[in-house]
Amino acid sequence: MTTSRKLQAVIEAVAASDGAGVKLRRSLGSRQNQRFDPFLMLDEFFSDDPDDYLAGFPSHPHRGFETVTYMLDGHMRHEDSFGNRGDLGPGDVQWMTAARGIIHSEMPQQTAGRMRGFQLWINLPSREKMKPAAYRDIPSREIPTVALAGGGELRVIAGEFEQGGTKTAGPIGGLSTAPLYYDLRLPHGSEATIPTPISHNTFLYVYEGDAVVGEDAKPLPFRAAGLLTPGGSVRIRAGEQGVRLLLLAGKPIGEPVVQYGPFVMNSPEEIQQAVIDYQRGQLAVAS
Ligand code: FE
């Protein structure tokens, strides 16, 4: 019997603005050094007001990590310096490994209605920070949904989920941080015990309703990230209104992190190099 994880810290999402003025809520990464190795940042964007999102994220660089965009509502278009183009609609995921460098834009393709989703930043180990950039669009239909034994459901975006001896693999696997990316929906009165690799740092993010987490039943409120203690599983109970939440787990990298905006490297010298490469137009080149 492995240890069950408990809530160790709660990070409430705070209002932030990024890109050309997109209003969003940042939990992980909202303060300096507030990371959970290998996770660097989690943003939720949610608005029914086009003024909050129309400006989008015009052309900007990334180096040294991965960005994962998960749309719940709305329509965004990605275009990058390698000529990739992708449309993201409800339920779709874009998994972009910036690594050595990419310059891209992420722009809304709607002028009204709801825009809702998440962007997660996952760090790369030093040996992978300068590998060629890669990019994948994952349509919603390729993301399996599992009915949970205790009620509710779970979408497997990355990694595997095991229940009753049956394994369900998500479309993303084989990465060195071995991430789990689950989207859970638990109706009121239901609970789930979700297995998590002992080697992984694991956190939750509640985006609808609220939850009670761990054997010691600590509350995790709406729009907050809950960092968990080490363990082999986590018990989650839905609150009065039920709950929708993300479960994110990854193998820690254990290396120094130096971040300068969209560049995340191991040393200040590598950051300087990223800035120079970007200025010289050599950040995003095929290698
Ligand atoms: Fe970006």
Cα(161) to ligand 1 centroid in Å equals 28
* pLDDT confidence of residue 29: 94
Share of the chain above pLDDT 70, in %: 99
d(CA 140, CA 286): 29
CA of 104 to the centre of ligand 1 (A): 6
What is the CA(261)–ligand 1 centre distance, in A? 11
Q: Which residues pair with 138 in a beta bridge?
A: 93
Dist. CA 218–CA 71, nearest whole Å = 29
Domains of the chain, CATH where assigned:
14-142 (2.60.120.10), 144-255 (2.60.120.10)
Residue 31 has what pLDDT? 85
213 near 220, Cβ under 8 Å?
Answer: yes
Under a CB-based contact definition with an 8 Å cutoff, are residues 33 and 57 in contact?
no
- Helix, coil or strand: residue 54: coil
Burial class (CB in 10 A: 0-12, 13-18, 19+), 150: middle
Instruction: Residue 95: name the closest of 221, 196, 33, 181 by CA.
Output: 181
Pull the structure tokens for residue 95.
């998994």
Nearest to 114 by CA among 52, 180, 29: 52
pLDDT higher than 60, residue 211: yes
Centre of ligand 1 from the C-alpha of residue 60, in Å = 6
C-alpha 62/C-alpha 51 separation (Å) is: 25
Three-state SS for 50?
helix
| Tally of CB atoms within 10 A around 189 | 12
53: which 2 tokens?
A: 């999102």
- In this structure, the number of other CB atoms found within 10 A of the CB of residue 69 comes to 22
Question: Considering just the CA atoms, what is the radius of gyration of the chain in Å?
Answer: 18
Question: From the CA of 57, how far away is ligand 1's center (Å)?
Answer: 7
Counting Cα atoms < 13 Å in the Cβ hemisphere of 134 gives: 11
**Phi and psi torsions of 162, nearest 5°:** -120, 130
Expressed in percent and rounded to 5, the helix, strand and coil fractions of the chain are 5, 55, 40
Mean pLDDT, residues 166-194? 97
Indicate whether 182 pLDDT > 90: yes
Ligand 1 center from residue 217 Cα (angstroms): 37
Grade residue 287 by pLDDT with cuts at 50, 70 and 90: low
Query: How many percent of the chain have pLDDT more than 90?
Result: 93
**In the predicted structure, residue 62 carries a pLDDT above the cut 80:** yes
Interval between CA 205 and ligand 1 midpoint (Å): 21
Residue 14 CA to ligand 1 centre (angstroms): 20
User: Structure tokens of 223?
Assistant: 């729009």
The whole-number pLDDT of residue 284 equals 87
Residue 285's pLDDT band (cuts 50, 70, 90): confident
Q: Which residues contact 34 (CB under 8 A, 6 or more apart)?
A: 11, 28
User: How many whole angstroms from 106 Cα to the centroid of ligand 1?
Assistant: 7
DSSP-derived secondary structure letter, 74: S
Question: For 85-120, how does the pLDDT look when each residue is reduced to its tens digit (9 = 90+)?
Answer: 999 999 999 999 999 999 999 999 988 999 999 999
* CA 162 to ligand 1 centroid distance, Å: 32
CA of 69 to the centre of ligand 1 (A): 9
Q: Tell me, what's the pLDDT at 2?
A: 74
Cα 126 to ligand 1 centroid, rounded to whole Å: 20
Task: Report pLDDT for 1.
Answer: 55
Cα 167 to ligand 1 centroid, rounded to whole Å:
32
Longest dimension (CA), the chain: 57
Distance (angstroms) between ligand 1 centre and the Cα of 128 equals: 19
